[in-house]
Amino acid sequence: MSDASGRLVWRKSSESLNGDCVEVASLSEGVAVRDSKNPEGGMLRFSRSGWQAFLRGADQGEFSNL
């Protein structure tokens, strides 16, 4: 979602203790993701279905060998 000025509202996990994680923002057409250490470095955009597929894969350990 965006705030009153139109800027994205970024969130990160409450599990992020040292700040080294990703942040997500809701878009009308999906989700944006960025590196919390480099917020000006760009972002990735996912469709809602693409984001759900990514989360399912992460939950099932699909990326644990990377």
List, for residues 25-53, the tens digit of each pLDDT value: 999 999 999 998 898 999 999 999 999 99
Partner residues linked to 34 by β-bridges:
23
- With bands split at pLDDT 50, 70 and 90, how would you rate the model's confidence at 57? very high
Helix (H) / strand (E) containing 32? strand 30-35
pLDDT, residue 21, reads 86
pLDDT, residue 5, reads 54
CA atoms within 13 A on the CB side of 38: 5
| Residue pair 32/23 in contact by the 8 Å Cβ criterion | no
How do the domains of the chain map onto residue ranges?
Answer: 1-59
Whole-structure pTM value? 0.76
pLDDT, residue 49, reads 96
The mean predicted confidence, pLDDT, of the chain is 86
> Starting at the edge strand that comes first in sequence, how are the strands of the sheet with 44-47 ordered?
22-27, 30-35, 44-47
